[in-house]
Structure 1
Amino acid sequence: MRKLNVIIVGLLCAFTSIGQSIHKIITVKEVERIERYLASDELAGRKPFTPGIELAAKFISEEFAKNKLKTWADSKTYLQTFQVYKPSLKSIKATLNGEVVDSKKVVLIGKEPKTTIDEHSAYAQASIKKGENFFQSAYKYIAGKTPSVVWVDQDFAALFARLSNRNVLRESQVNVLFILSEKLDSYQIEVEQDITPLPLSNVVALIPGKSLANEYVIFSGHYDHLGIMPNRAVQGDSIYNGANDDAAGTTGMMMLAKYFKKWNKNERTLVFAAFTAEESGGFGASYFSEQFDPQSVKAMFNLEMIGTESKWGKNSAYITGFDKTDMGAILQKNLAGTAFSFHPDPYPDQNLFYRSDNATLARLGVPAHTISTSKMDSEPNYHKPSDQIETLDLENMTEIIKSIALSAQSIISGKDTPSRVDTSQLK
């Protein structure tokens, strides 16, 4: 315990050099207050389209207002509301090379009530071949802007049906037709479905910059989770509270907003975003990213699961896509002399750089990275009802938030500008 106290004292000495007394603003007590409410049973797992997530959005908005942050684009509310669409399949007919085939071999991702696609339709042709990452490849087409017919190798038959689970579609969704077959010259697919529009809301606030007001630095976390899942109850508990995933990241983002508002030295405009629907397709982050010219966004700090110790122990975290830009090196430089350290993502095989809410802007060249401590190879509470506040190390989480505040200083002041992601190298 004495060694840990010495480490914390060392960190606090470094933090006070920023100006405001950071340890009086970002406190364990305050972190626990926010985290405990976001992960409470009252919010019932914060699933989109439920009262629980609406309560969470109200709470985050009230905290932004309490700290006197501005709304986005002079809005009267911190809510950034947009429409998504829920399709309900009524019928599907599939003919390949003149033969009627099982409709389960076809999945249409699209929001048109009636659709007919054949070899004469103006659709791009693509394929997902054996050996590819199936869902990563499929998402590339789903998130694209080109209507496409995608031929899927039979090797993915067991995974193919899961494409139909994508039951929420974005406003800009184009038709993407997946066919479990080798590419054929003749085909006709007829789909009829009911389409229901539904509202979703990010919660967004900002602190205007001084000399570089048109340059943005984003701090984010997703505030949704899985909700109540009776069919996946564990020992009678069916509420998936999502304390670490990602009430922890959202709490961190909110604490940074409070701190930087009092710090009041940001030359660049700071944007604080609580994203919705990350767990169901990243819809919140996708909509949010469309509001920016990517060149104007100089950095993005996405906080995801920071409530537990990393594989290196306390006072450490990792940065996804560390080698994609020099942002990680800048953050490490700014932490020189402290006991805290950032590391490259130790789980490259899990492709985390493209799996969180930083990915949309990163694909546009923005140095957008996720900061996390989650041990993805051995996280015992990931997507389980046991992901509750009692499993978190709130003292360590508080130090992580302070270290992010310190490491971001030179970027938000305009002294440092991270290099851009080389989009030609993106998969």
Structure 2
Amino acid sequence: MKKILLSLTILGTALYSCTPKIGSIINVSEVERIETILSADDMKGRQLFSPELDKAADFIADEFKKSGLEFFGDNDSYLQTFTMLQATPAVITGSLDKETLSTSNVMVNTTAATVAINTLTDYEVVKVAKDANFNQLVFPLFRTEKNVIVLIDQAHASTFSRIGRSAGRAKFPTEYSQVFILTDNLDPQSIDLKITNTLTEQKLQNVVGVIPGKSLKDEYVVFGGHYDHIGIGRPDANNDSIYNGANDNAAGTTAVMMLGKYFNKLKDNERTLIFVAFTAEESGGFGSTYFSKQLDPDKVVAMFNIEMIGTDSKWGPNSAYITGFEKSSMGEILQKNLVGSKFHFEPDPYPKQNLFYRSDNRTLAALGVPAHTISTSKMEEAPNNEPNYHKASDEIGTLDMVNMTEVIKAIALSSKTIISGKDTPTRVEKLD
């Protein structure tokens, strides 16, 4: 009996010694190496549709390859490419009752080559009166799947141009159009409008790698973060115009890459693990929206969205928060798995910011997936929020690389019972 026990002890010790220590893979030097490359000046802020964003995608894909991750689904590479359409108005002519319509008072959110409207009955009509909340009424309409005519009182003329910035972006092909008209006539009787657009195809790409599961291979756990940022902007006081996006979100992308490397060394996942660097978070969440449509949401057990983890949280080092903590049991599971460690997760302390629906977890969460963002970013109202958020000063020198490494380790350790199949978080309530 003693010999059997001794043999079992030796076997157990051998198995344990074969398991890589987390610090040998997720360590400060490796985290800093990746973060430095992604947030370097030569990435020029990783702006949408830029060569530098493609360069970042290629770097992430190469790291996935070095880590031994597999391709996603039927893809023949780590790049998950999809097409967006940009519609630029070439000609706008027509009338609203007797008022002339043109490019000066009409904007349209569409991907159609032409939009022709000769009746008010085929479109839903929304009126934005002079005392109405412009932002609250107008901008949610960009995400609606219906034809809408939005009549906006001239009192909002100074903010009307903001519609053009949103409407002019590339978007997924759609059969619906939202037409915005600046007018004093909020009760028109007739409309005759013709819009001719120039269409331009634009390619975007997520970067996706997979570690197949074993006994639960048809159940998925997703680790994601966006790798795009806002590019080059107005020079600051130091004449710096490159918005490096070190914390937002090279930090989260670095975490995704490190976790892929760690878990593939560990090889103890019963569920399939998917690692994805999303594109276009800063421009409407198009990358995560496309990705979510490639999965059956009922098979996605959990999603860890990692966003801005490069600075200390409001509780100091070795802490982070989970958005939408109360919407599923996922946060409680992560907390349980960290009991006895120096790290702790907390519920989102900024509920007024509605962070749960402001990042790449949003699309999967809306489909019922326990998809939550992990962050350390201080998001109070100004002037106490992140001082470098969406500024040229968001550079690697402002980050705490030691603490960032501990956040990544905490995500790895806290997720262990979810990837093993022992724990299954409760579902989030679906949005209509």
CA distance in 2, matches of 1:46, 1:280: 12
Match of 1:168 in 2: 169
Match of 1:100 in 2: 100
CA distance in 2, matches of 1:397, 1:328: 19
CA distance in 2, matches of 1:241, 1:328: 31
Match of 1:9 in 2: none
Matched-pair contact (CA < 8 Å) for 1:225–1:245: yes
Residue of 219, 222, 226 corresponding to 1:218: 222
CA distance in 2, matches of 1:288, 1:225: 18
- Within 5 A, what are the aligned runs for 1:12-411? 19-93=19-93, 95-100=95-100, 103-120=103-120, 122-126=122-126, 135=135, 138-152=138-152, 157-166=157-166, 167-173=168-174, 174-180=176-182, 182=186, 184-229=188-233, 231-377=234-380, 378-411=385-418
Identity of aligned residues (%): 52
The Cα of 1:152 is off from its aligned counterpart by: 4.9
2:146 partner amino acid = T
CA distance in 2, matches of 1:88, 1:222: 27
Matched-pair contact (CA < 8 Å) for 2:120–2:191: no
Change over 3 Å in CA distance of 1:132–1:361 after alignment to 2: farther
Aligned-partner SS, 1:42: helix
Aligned-partner SS, 1:107: strand
CA distance in 2, matches of 1:191, 1:316: 53
Aligned-partner SS, 1:197: strand
CA distance in 1, matches of 2:427, 2:96: 45
Change over 3 Å in CA distance of 1:266–1:228 after alignment to 2: same
CA distance in 1, matches of 2:129, 2:368: 27
**Farther-moved stretch of structure 1 (137-146 vs 82-91):** 137-146
CA distance in 2, matches of 1:158, 1:421: 40
1:208 partner amino acid = P
Aligned-partner SS, 1:298: strand
1:296 partner amino acid = K
Change over 3 Å in CA distance of 1:154–1:268 after alignment to 2: farther
Aligned-partner SS, 1:73: coil
Aligned-partner SS, 2:283: coil
Change over 3 Å in CA distance of 1:61–1:134 after alignment to 2: farther
Matched-pair contact (CA < 8 Å) for 1:86–1:198: yes
Change over 3 Å in CA distance of 1:134–1:287 after alignment to 2: farther
The Cα of 1:184 is off from its aligned counterpart by: 4.2
State the superposition RMSD in angstroms.
2.5
CA distance in 2, matches of 1:178, 1:206: 43
2:379 partner amino acid = M
Match of 1:413 in 2: 420
CA distance in 2, matches of 1:132, 1:348: 25
Aligned pairs, number? 409
The Cα of 1:156 is off from its aligned counterpart by: 5.2
Q: TM-score, normalised by structure 2?
A: 0.88
Matched-pair contact (CA < 8 Å) for 1:94–1:106: no
2:32 partner amino acid = E
The Cα of 1:17 is off from its aligned counterpart by: 12
Match of 1:4 in 2: none
Aligned-partner SS, 2:248: helix
Change over 3 Å in CA distance of 1:318–1:281 after alignment to 2: same
Structure 1 gaps of 5+ residues are 1-15
Matched-pair contact (CA < 8 Å) for 1:276–1:285: yes
CA distance in 2, matches of 1:308, 1:389: 10
Change over 3 Å in CA distance of 1:96–1:274 after alignment to 2: same
The Cα of 1:93 is off from its aligned counterpart by: 3.2
Moved over 6 A (4+): 128-133
Change over 3 Å in CA distance of 1:88–1:211 after alignment to 2: same
Change over 3 Å in CA distance of 1:76–1:356 after alignment to 2: same
1:169 partner amino acid = A
2:145 partner amino acid = K
The Cα of 1:134 is off from its aligned counterpart by: 5.2
1:178 partner amino acid = F
The Cα of 1:395 is off from its aligned counterpart by: 0.2
The Cα of 1:183 is off from its aligned counterpart by: 5.6
Aligned-partner SS, 2:29: helix
Q: Which has the larger radius of gyration?
A: 2
